[in-house]
Structure 1
């Protein structure tokens, strides 16, 4: 089955409200969407969500790269998809959002052509996946109310953005606990703290009676030693997020005892790279988390298939499309994601048409 066309478009998706983390504020998800079409008319869809402080790409750059990558695929067959993915990633190193969009569309088309779910490539079936919901950097009163509403909608797991002033972060987390007393709370500092600040934060939360399930990426992405110091200084599990893009990064985390958990995001590793990172983490007896950027249902459901297919994830943070004002397909704003097939199961209307 040969690829006859690859189409690429920018995809702008306004958020319900501004979303602030320690790396900045977003009001719109400025993504890229790709369609790969085969000679029998099968179409697969993929998406990338470039966030310059994280992925190093702008939307315009990601669109241009995806179009250039698509030119490599036209005339090639779907069967040898691993070689095609390797070729794209080696040709455009570091362009993780663009290459993810192309890779996902390629694998989606492959699975659709064989009428199998994407989860099958990871050894499983598409079963329901439960996600957390993220509370951004907001004042305590707003955080308390957001947590209360989330709990009413059935969310048992919340992730709170931190990484600003430690005392302000503690007040936000404490407010979330007040608003939703029964939920599990994770925090994500997005590289905003030092090891000493991380330890202070954990101590202050304990003093306030707030039990934390996880502290995600407290220090700079390149500070493996600092991440390890955080792990030694606190009793809460520490996760590496921006530190791990590739399987090689995951190996370094293992060798340096830098984290208890690896947060895998398709927007960093890609789909096939994710499979390798899962194997590394499982071999080293590390827990796994799966996260997202600000993807629509296309990217979120692709990630849900990885979760269902591997059965490897202790923490699921796939709420990106719940932050959008409108998705590419109708979605319920509830904790449960129900991936279907063939492929990732999402067929967006009026995207990447001929």
Structure 2
């Protein structure tokens, strides 16, 4: 079984080659002048396709007979989790940006292009718009405003499956877990019986503040901020998602530098304590929502590599029996494993309507 996995990022594309029961992972940088000049993400398709194809040819991988091509799903309409076969409806919604613009929107499009070359099917797995939330978790104090489900679904679901099977000896669909993805953005979700029934929309600013994202903000303060600084809504969206959080408070996105200053700068120390406090408060709220009946807490993402931050989070949560740290992300593995489940008949590919 040979599988090609594609995971587009902002200036690079990660790919995975699964062959002979082994997974090889690569990172293809897109830093040439042609790419940098492209304004809209969707217009990067040709450059990314050619760069991936060139990489496969140069590394003697292009002639592999792939049984499936699988990619990270983009900002489609809200759907339940799982593996989806790429169809015209998916391609159309990715191209028009039906739920926003994101590099992941190119995933299904690139997968289909390569699938046509290899005469196989193209799939996407657990896109960031998975919506399995309880209805009561969506309702807010304004009738026409609902909480949205946008999060690191691909990595959330993969690490949850791994912990359920390998550490708890249970199926993911039989487990209740809280998964905290701590990276440039932070999303913390309650996984119950194979569904993410509550999660903060880390992409648009819900939940704890993160390395570069604002998190939840007091409405009156936000209105004053916009008026005093004459900020448009388009500028605000950029600030909330790219220029807030630790970056706004400490003028850095390097959390290792933040660690080094913790014991020498009182303001840095206060910001770090607030950062950790907001994370554990979000985790605690989901424990309450689950009536305390949680099998384990799983912490993943880039920040999970830091013993400094993990020790601080654990200090708050030392009353818990089971906390598992899964550093980094497993998006390529999640894509490959999703395709394998479909190819083996363990899971049916869903149809996007």
The answer to whether the superposition gives a TM-score over 0.5 is no
**TM-score of the pair, normalised by structure 1:** 0.29
**When the two structures are superposed, what TM-score results if normalisation uses the length of structure 2?**
0.29
